[in-house]
Amino acid sequence: MSRPGLPPIRLSCFGGKLEAHDTSPESGLLRELNEELNWQPNCAPTRAVDLYVDNELIAYFYSSADASPSTDFTYESDRGRHGEWMHLDDALKDERTSNWHKSVLEVWKSGGDRADYVTPPENT
């Protein structure tokens, strides 16, 4: 499924939605880390940046002191998706990184906690 600012060929973060049994966004995050990456961080992730698209809250982004399980980590899903860890500056420079995620990474790098992405008008 394609969404404005996030076409399917772009690099992005894994994610998911809160399920009925999740007691908080943080518990949902830990469940998703386990389900999607088969990984649990040693330190509790902390909320880092909230992403707003066209003034609507879309996602919470979290940071963890032990965010990378190893420097050679790769991921293959049963849905044909591939993942890998990237250095922040590399992700910001990579043309495949989605516009949404670049806005979040730029805000996080500068120490902010809210990213506001405005969908560009469609070409007519």
> What are the boundaries of each domain within the chain?
43-117
pLDDT band at residue 2 under the 50/70/90 scheme? very low
Single-letter residue type at 82: H
**Could you say which DSSP state residue 11 is in?**
B
pLDDT in tens, 7-37: 445 666 777 788 999 999 889 988 988 887 7
Average pLDDT, stretch 37-62?
A: 89
Q: Which strand (E) or helix (H) includes residue 116?
A: strand 114-117
Task: Give the pLDDT confidence of 75-121 residue by residue, as tens digits.
Answer: 666 666 666 777 889 889 988 888 889 999 999 999 999 999 999 98
Are 14 and 98 in contact by the 8 Å Cβ rule? The answer is: no
Closest listed residue to residue 61, CA positions, set 116, 119, 108: 108
Nearby residues of 124 by Cβ (< 8 Å), 6 or more positions away: none
pTM of the model: 0.75
Confidence at residue 87, expressed as pLDDT on a 0 to 100 scale: 83
